[in-house]
Amino acid sequence: MSAITDPPKGGFHLSMLIYDSRYRSMTIQIVTLMLFMLGVAWLINNAAENLARLGKPLSFGFLWEPAGYDINQKLIEYNSQMSNARAALVGLLNTLLVAALGCITATILGVTIGVLRLSNNWLVARLMTVYVETIRNVPVLLWIALTMAAIIHSLPQPKAFRGDNATASMIGDAVAITNRGVYIPKPVLHDGSLIVIGVFLLSIVAMFVFGKWAKAHQAATGQILPTFWIKLGIFFVPAILTFFVMGNPITLEYPALKGFNFKGGFHIRNSLIALWLALSLYTAAFIAEAVRAGIMAVSKGQSEAAAALGLRSSWTMNLIVLPQALRVIMPPMISQFLNLTKNSSLAIAVGYMDITGTLGGITLNQTGREMECILLLMLCYLIISLIVSSVMNWYNNSVKLKER
Amino acid sequence: MKKTTFLGTVAAAAMVAGVAGAGTLDDIKAKGFLQCGVSTGLVGFAAADANGNWGGFDVAVCRAVAAAVLGDAQAVKFTPTTGKTRFTALASGEVDMLARNTTWTFTRDVDLKFTFVGVNYYDGQGFMAPKSLGVTSAKDLDGATICIQTGTTTELNLADYFRSNNISYEPVPVETNSEAQQQYLSGACDVLTTDASGLAATRATFEKPGDHVVLPEIISKEPLGPLVRHGDDNWADVVRWTLNALIAAEELGVTSANVSEMGMKAGNNPEINRLLGTEGGLGEKLGLSNDWAKNAIAAVGNYGEIFEKNIGENTPIGLSRGLNAQWTNGGLIYTPPFR
């Protein structure tokens, strides 16, 4: 203890903040921070000042006034007499819907394309290269516009389904594909349908429980069960049995041409399809590259070792290569999901009413509250992105290399 | 020390803001051109020709103001704005005035802080449908898919009209008139709705205009006119009285053909004399030269000439004067006196 030298004696001088190397970096950082904060304060102050001069001080009261406009795609109850806040919520849900659909499709497509790009088949590998390079080197807005134009101009109008010499027909009298979107049958719930749904949900839980048990069983005894077929059985059989036992409590409502449009069933609008398709195809190209990089990052020795142990090639992929590749794939994948979510704000190009279209579009325009709407919009995207990234980071932590 | 710096910054910011807000008229004279917000392209009202020269009914108002202020009708730079961007462009000072089929409403005047200087076209919202659809009235449109330009009063009128008539519809929001046209022609929507004048202008560009019918219902009042920001009354006066001068010129029989002759020396009609600056000093009171109105009329013609040249019955758009006739002919076009 006595070996520690005493700190230098003598008083602290202000000049030491600059000339003493112990404090200098701290001083520079504090001064920079202060200048930065002053700059930000000036910008905020300038904005507030100018808004006040225009007679439009920041106020969020408009959110509770009636919106006055209609929205075509709404996942929750909405009409033009409800508030701007409600309209924003409708838009937010539409954003989340297209983001979720897009992320799922982009992942499936991206993983498939990424794996195929490494295929030994020359044609398949080259085709995938062409796909990746064309798609990701053109701005996504153009892909969205192109997809929409393709839908509008190439698919039949609803009136083409009408009359005796109709030029278009429904697929199996159940699905109608038109340039206004796709109409599919909608399930209608009757008495007892809740039991069927409950059984179905329980069987999903059972499927996972069985999976865990099978793994533990294999670890304990070395016996491998045909889990895929058993899981498939658990998934379908109980629900279908209950469905018939309860006397068909769920029926389908088919779309039918009535008046100007098809009525009944679900209407998946052309704007949603165009946006979903374009975002998925675009993001899939990036995910494919991440997947390819991940797989190539796993050293060849790993699969050779697996082969030496006598593992089948599918097992090698699932048990040896992919778990290690995931560690490399996940971080870029997270940013692709975030990109997709943010790119969905291009929805207005096809008239899809996402939150940029409602809060940042019509509400902004009809109320004239630019500053407030844009701030709220930024906050919404920030929160969505933070949630997506925290969920994905949690998953990333669970697959990454555990270092103890 | 920190606090004083902050206060200094605040003061500096306030000064910058103050300087930027000096008289719009002086700013325009200093920079030598007028920055005018117009639509992104609506034939007859505001559209650029093959050489990039803007022309049309709304563009003429911009040119008249430029002629009145700077003596040169070509000293205008046009900023194409969509229904969504127009108010931001005006409020932020990106444009000096907006002449873009904009409806004068309470909210826009009072809450958005704009000054509508007058009405240059009395319009109303209508519907257009293909003849083959067999629709004769807007009340038949239950369940129809309707294309609307987003960010317009149209959107709100439509919601109100269908709600009060208790019929359903599917709105398809589109950003610009050309997108609306594309969706409508490909059948992605059954009906197109906007101001009746806009429908006529759009239909005029179709390959077969005769295949489309404008439904008889006019569901709203849409007084369209030029507007400026709140807070600069002098500039608002300049734009207002330039518009009024065009209207007065038609009423008094002053045209682009005879204005130079009539403006040479004072004639028998004192109001024409005051308008053309041969008597009194109305122009100076606005902060302009006394021949301001003469320049404006010489450049673009009077109100009637502008109407006939751009959207009148002899043009492809083929609008009749109707409500937009002079008050002396049973219309609503009326200017306060030049006195």
List of chain B residues with pLDDT < 50: 1-20
- A259–B107 C-beta distance less than 8 A: no
Q: Is residue B268 part of a domain?
A: yes
Task: State the pLDDT at residue B7.
Answer: 47
- A260–B145 C-beta distance less than 8 A: yes
Task: State the pLDDT at residue A262.
Answer: 84
CB atoms within 10 A of CB B281: 10
Task: State the pLDDT at residue B13.
Answer: 45
Task: State the pLDDT at residue B68.
Answer: 95
Residues B138 and B95 in one domain: no
The sign of the dihedral angle between the CA atoms of A38, A39, A40, A42 is: positive
Residues B299 and B314 in one domain: yes
Note the pLDDT tens digit of each residue in B309-331: 999 989 888 888 989 999 999 99
- The separation between CA B56 and the C-alpha centre of its own chain, rounded to angstroms, equals 10
Range of the domain at B31: 24-122+224-329
Closest CA to B273 of B255, B296, B254, B301: B254
A58 vs B165, residue with greater confidence: B165
- Rg of chain A taking only CA atoms, in angstroms: 29
Question: Domain tally for chain B?
Answer: 2
Q: Is residue B54 part of a domain?
A: yes
Task: State the pLDDT at residue A124.
Answer: 94
Q: Is residue B38 part of a domain?
A: yes
Least CB-CB distance to A55: which of B12, B187, B230? Answer: B230
Residues B286 and B300 in one domain: yes
By CA distance, what is B231's nearest residue in A? A54
Mean pLDDT confidence for A235-257:
84
Note the pLDDT tens digit of each residue in A164-182: 777 777 887 788 888 888 9
Cα atoms in the Cβ-side hemisphere of radius 13 Å centred on A351? 31
Residues B140 and B232 in one domain: no
List Cα–Cα distances, A49 to A377, B32, B77, in angstroms.
Answer: 22, 29, 29
Given a cut of 90, whether residue A247 has pLDDT beyond it is: no
- A351–B174 C-beta distance less than 8 A: yes
Q: Is residue B313 part of a domain?
A: yes
Residues B113 and B36 in one domain: yes
Q: Is residue B309 part of a domain?
A: yes
Q: Report chain A's mean pLDDT, rounded to a whole number.
A: 87
Task: State the pLDDT at residue A9.
Answer: 59
Task: State the pLDDT at residue B265.
Answer: 84
Least CB-CB distance to A50: which of B17, B133, B187? Answer: B17
End residue of a domain, out of B168, B185, B220:
B220
* Chain A interface disruption, residue of B172, B182, B227, most A CBs within 10 A: B172
Q: Is residue B18 part of a domain?
A: no
Bridging pattern class, strands B191-195 and B144-149: parallel
End residue of a domain, out of B220, B243, B263:
B220
Task: State the pLDDT at residue B5.
Answer: 47
- B155–A362 C-beta distance less than 8 A: yes
Residues B268 and B308 in one domain: yes
Task: State the pLDDT at residue B19.
Answer: 42
Note the pLDDT tens digit of each residue in A64-75: 999 889 998 888
Tokens of residue A367, six digits: 């109320």
- Judged by a CB distance cut-off of 8 A, whether residue B126 touches chain A is no
- B173–A362 C-beta distance less than 8 A: yes
Q: Residue B245's domain is classified under what CATH number?
A: 3.40.190.10
Which residues fall within 8 angstroms of residue A301, CB to CB, at 6 or more apart? Answer: none
Q: Which burial class, exposed, middle or buried, applies to B279 when counting CB atoms under 10 A from its CB (0-12, 13-18, 19+)?
A: middle
Residues of chain A positioned with their CB less than 8 A from the CB of B22: none
Residues B244 and B114 in one domain: yes
Task: State the pLDDT at residue B9.
Answer: 47
Q: What's the complex ipTM?
A: 0.75
* Top-level class of domain A84-136+270-399: mainly alpha
Given a cut of 50, whether residue A15 has pLDDT beyond it is: yes
Contact B58, B100 (CB under 8 A): yes
Residues B238 and B103 in one domain: yes
Residues B142 and B97 in one domain: no
Q: Is residue B245 part of a domain?
A: yes
Task: State the pLDDT at residue A343.
Answer: 93
Closest CA to B39 of B51, B31, B47: B47
The structure tokens 């937010």 sit at A92
Least CB-CB distance to B159: which of A34, A69, A263? Answer: A69
Least CB-CB distance to A38: which of B9, B21, B111? Answer: B9
Q: From CA B32, how far away is CA B37, in angstroms rounded?
A: 17
End residue of a domain, out of B220, B247, B265:
B220
Top-ranked range on mean pLDDT: pick from A184-193, A315-324, B217-226: B217-226
Residues B246 and B176 in one domain: no
Share of chain A above pLDDT 70, in %: 97
Residues B239 and B200 in one domain: no
- Judged by a CB distance cut-off of 8 A, whether residue B165 touches chain A is no
Given a cut of 70, whether residue A394 has pLDDT beyond it is: yes
Q: Is residue B293 part of a domain?
A: yes
Residues B162 and B96 in one domain: no
Share of chain A above pLDDT 90, in %: 38
